[in-house]
Structure formats: structure tokens, C-alpha cells
Amino acid sequence: MCFKFLSASVSLALLAVTPASAQSDTVTIWSWNVAASALKSTLEGFNKKYPDIKVTVHDLGNDQVFDKTLAACAAGGDGLPDIVTVENFEAELFWSRFPDCFTDLTALGYTSEKQALFPDFKRTELEMDGIAYAAPWDSGPVAVFYRRDFYEKAGVDPATIKNWDDFIAAGKKVMAANPGTVMAQADFNGDSEWFRMIANEQGCGYFSTDGQSITINQPACVATLEKIKEMKDAGIITAAIWDEKIQANTAGKAASQMYGAWYEGTIRSGSPDLSGKWGVYPMPSLTEDGPHAANLGGSSLAISSVSENKEAAWKFIDYALTTNEGQVTMLKSFGLVPSLLSAIDDPFVKEPQPYWGGQTIWSDILATLPKIVPSRGTPFQSDADAIYMATQTKYFAGGYPDAKAALDDAAKQIETATGLPLAE
């Protein structure tokens, strides 16, 4: 699902919320937008199994869920619902600041066997010191969504695009054959999406996998930034915010979009008249034989410590997240990509998708889940991301001699902001 980084500054005035119900057969959930709708889509199946448990999903909006949860945890959990939706990238902010705000799911039935149902990259930020603060929900395995007709007009076969140099060459052909069209778009002014996707693919990130050191200036991250600037300078990637990308898709001004797979629903619902004209292929790599898997986005479900309905809350999470029925229902209804590894064996996942030209896109996309390298957000993710974005802007404008100098500067700023050491 789509996300953005948010400020940790909140006001206790945000605590005007509905508290968790004291009834053992009622479960309340905070979520937002499509995520909230997806949870509601599982209720029919859940209530067939548990007819006496009533689940109420409150769609509060992304910002409100984050702010209200942070404020409530600061107030000892007062006002929290039974279940809270937590995005993976911000999860460690909660666990580190408020370790007593959420329930250890292992005490409710989230056994090691159930934990093993999910890939490591989804669990890395949700489990600390043997405590499982949340269970993985949706994920964002990265893929390139492309216009079949634009590529075909240019004589470009996406199967031949193995590395980013191939992508640049293909982009020039596609744009020449389709005047007024750009190969891809990135929110260079307000997000770090392309850097995080490609760096994750290369096994690099702002922080080390153990979260104990700063790695943004490691060679793989430097190579990532160099390649992004090369693509920008070549003119095949132009700056665009979220709404502009959707408009470009519908207007036929974008030949490709690279995102987490949750973007499938955005294209399909935003451009319904283009059915059959879109396809999907794996993200290119820095080298032809390099990795082709990364993650962008995704959330989890956590049970508040103040919930008086923990058993019922766990039953819902167990159904919605650890069964193919629950996860694939949300995939079918709203395009939320399962983190559950067994979902790839579901019959629906193997079906050709008409909108995507009959391509079995979900089999292709979910096959990358086991290949994704874990990437730690740590409690300092938003600080590091803000520093990176400012550095990226300065680097693109010629403010650094090269990418290494840019990321060395970013690393030192992150060191000052977080107190973590630079990796050797």
C-alpha cells in the first residue's frame, strides 16, 4: 500500500478517540483507506468461522492512525483500539519508544511455526528480543508496470531488460517511438522511493541489517545513487508526485512505473479503460546477473496492551493474515499483496489476469518474496530519510563532486542525528 514518512511530533489533543471495547466478543481496529476496506472484505469469511465475534474497522486515514497511536502510547495506551495497523517502516519507532504499548503475539498463539509462514524481510522490523510486536500483513515486492503497446511500438521486449543500462537504452527507444511519453517517473522532490527500491535490491540501506550502524555510504548504495542520477540526466525518468503519476498513466504519458506491487490496484482502478494494455516485468538490476527483488511498503497488525479482547483480536489476525483465505480475499478485492509465502499456491494467484493482458502477474510478483533482502528502518528512519532526500536534491543540482561524497555527507549527518556509528 502507498505510504509516506510522517513527523513524530504529536499532540495529546489527538487522544479524542474511541477506546477499546470491554466486551469480549467485540474487536475494534484502526486502519486507513484501501487497507481498511481490505480488512472489511475478510469479515464475511471470518464470521463464518467465528459468528460471535463482531469486528469493527475504523477508517481514520494514514496520518491520523500514526499520530493517534503515537499519542496514545505516550499516554500509557489510553484510548487505543484492540488492533492497530502499523506500517513496517515506522514500526521500530513504536517498539523502541513504547515497548509496553503492544502485546507480545507469541503469548496468544503466534508460534514459531506461524512466524515461519512469512519471509524474513517482513518480520525483521516486527520482532525484537524474542517479542513479536506485530504480525506481517501486506508487502510491496517491487515490479515494473509497463504499457505493452508503447514498448511494442518501439520494438522493445521487456524480457531483454536485465540491468539498468538496458532500461536506459529501452527508455530512449520507447520515448522516441511514442512522442510526449516518458519512460518512468519518480517523486524526486518529496520521496526517496527509487533509491530505497534499488538500494534494497542491492542489499544496502540507510542502516545495517542489525540496526546498529549506518550504511548509506556503502558501495552498493553509492552505485545506486549514481545510476539514478544517470537515468535522470538521460531524461528517461522525470519528477512527478503521486497524483501526477496517476494522471500520466491515464493520459498515456508514462510508459512505465516502478513501485511496490500494491500499485497494481492503483493502475487498474485509476485507468480502467486501459485494460489489456499494461503488463509487468521484474525490476532491472545493476548487473545483468544481479538480484531482481526488493520491497517498498507494507504493513502489519498489532494488538494493544490495553485491549480487553486480546483472544478475539488474535483470532481475527490469525484468520486475516496467516491463512490463504484471508490474505487472498484482500488481494482479490483491493490488490493488497500477501506477505504469506503459501499464498503463491492459491488458485487465484495462478490465474491469468485480464486487465494485465492475461499475464499471471501475481505468480510472477509473489515469486520474488523469498528473494527480498531485509532492510531495517530502525527508530530513526524518518530522520535518515529526510537527510537523504535533502542530499539527493543537492547532488542532482551539482552540489557534490560525486555520489560517494554526497552519501558520505549524508552518513555523517545521520550519525549526528542518531548517535549510531558509521559502518566499517
Number of H helices, E strands in the chain: 17, 11
C-alpha pair distances (Å), 281 with each of 162, 171, 200, 270, 292: 10, 15, 18, 20, 10
State the pTM of this model. Answer: 0.89
> CB–CB of 80/69 below 8 Å?
yes
CATH number of 12-140+297-358: 3.30.450.30, 3.40.190.10, 3.40.50.300, 3.40.50.2000? 3.40.190.10
- Residues 29-82 have pLDDT tens digits of 999 988 999 999 999 999 999 999 999 999 998 899 999 999 999 999 999 999
Q: Is the dihedral of CA 76, 78, 79, 84 positive or negative?
A: positive
The residue with cell 480475499 is: 329
- Residues 365-410 have pLDDT tens digits of 999 999 999 998 889 998 999 999 999 999 999 999 999 999 999 9
7 exposure class (CB count in 10 Å sphere: 0-12, 13-18, 19+): exposed
Instruction: Look over the chain and give the mean of its residue pLDDT values, rounded to a whole number.
Output: 92
Q: In whole angstroms, what is the distance from residue 246 CA to residue 326 CA?
A: 29
> CB–CB of 152/357 below 8 Å?
no
How many CB atoms neighbour CB 43 within 10 A?
Answer: 18
**Domain residue extents for the chain:** 12-140+297-358
> CB–CB of 200/294 below 8 Å?
yes
- Residues 323-335 have pLDDT tens digits of 999 999 999 988 8
